[in-house]
Amino acid sequence: MRSQAPTFQPLYVQTKALLEHALEAGEWPPGTAIPAEVALAARFGVSQGTVRKAIGALAAENLLVRRQGKGTFVATHTEEPASNFRFLRIRRNDGRPEYPGSRLIDLRRGKAGAEVARALAIKQGDGIYILRRILDYASRPVVLDEITLPAALFNGLTRARFSGYPGSMYGFFETEFGVRMLRAEERLYAVAADRAAAELLDVAAGSPLLAVDRISFTYGDRPVEVRRGLCTTRHEHYWNALT
């Protein structure tokens, strides 16, 4: 069996790495079915049980989705609404599920400073895109996002192209640029609204806001998005499930 992982790793971990490499290479695009376990077992020279365990590990990481009676599919951000809520942490206090509306405020190109370059694992001075948007819940502005992306991965990003996409932002990144957000790390802070944020969020300057700093990663744990969301908590809250 060919393996890019150290030989002391369990066989299913080596098989998982080979499957992930195939996913990263685009062998099976998002939303499509992967080959049957028996076919993958023959391809990698392992048992069907080993393949099943490797697939289970990838499903636990939300890279694959098992569908009863249909097979195993590559996870995609374009499957609404369930996939949208995986990265959406702001929820309504009344418990009603709502995917917010998105309004682009501005989109511009720039050059990465030292902090952004470190976060995105690029060189200082490399090109970046910076976009700001408002997320509306029940027609109320609740989140002000500032999102920074490496220009090399999002070449051709324009205001019209972003605003014209009908689905989620991560679905847009996946469909239009082939960049899949697989996981994210977040830090939360309490901050006071400055004048500009207060105006956009329709709160008084100095009002308390929840700041959510996020770095999102694609295959190979490559960072591809830096985001700061400023959130009001008048009628919403940050939600997370710990398992």
pLDDT in tens, the chain (243 residues): 554 544 578 899 999 999 999 999 989 999 899 999 999 999 999 999 999 999 999 998 889 999 888 899 998 888 655 556 788 899 999 988 888 999 999 999 999 999 999 999 999 999 999 999 999 999 999 999 999 999 999 999 999 999 999 888 999 999 999 999 999 999 999 999 999 999 999 999 999 999 999 999 999 999 999 999 999 999 999 998 887
Query: Do residues 122 and 229 both lie within one domain?
Result: yes
Alpha helix (H) ranges present in the chain?
A: 11-24, 37-44, 48-60, 114-120, 159-164, 169-177, 195-201
pLDDT of residue 17: 92
Q: What is the CA radius of gyration of the chain?
A: 20
Cross-strand partners of 33: 73
**End-of-domain residue from the set 24, 48, 74:** 74
pLDDT of residue 62: 86
pLDDT of residue 5: 47
Q: Which three-class secondary structure state does DSSP give residue 168?
A: coil
Query: Do residues 116 and 27 both lie within one domain?
Result: no
Query: Do residues 66 and 165 both lie within one domain?
Result: no
Beta strands 64-67 and 183-192 are unpaired
Contact (CB, 8 A) for 163 and 132 = no
Number of domains within the chain? 2
Query: Do residues 162 and 55 both lie within one domain?
Result: no
Q: What is this structure's pTM? A: 0.86
Contact (CB, 8 A) for 77 and 181 = yes
**CA–CA gap between residue 156 and residue 137 (Å, rounded):** 29
Query: Do residues 117 and 230 both lie within one domain?
Result: yes
Q: Which of 122, 167, 175, 182 is nearest to 148 (CA)?
A: 122
Inter-CA distances, 177 with 80, 93, 115, 156, Å: 19, 35, 24, 9
Q: Which three-class secondary structure state does DSSP give residue 185?
A: strand
pLDDT of residue 80: 54
Buried b (16+ CB within 10 A) or exposed e, 177-193: bebbbbebeeeeeeeeb
pLDDT of residue 161: 95
CATH number (domain holding residue 17) = 1.10.10.10
CATH number (domain holding residue 217) = 3.40.1410.10
Give the per-residue SS3 of 72-90: EEECCCCCCCHHHHHCCCE
Domain range holding 61? 11-74
pLDDT of residue 241: 84
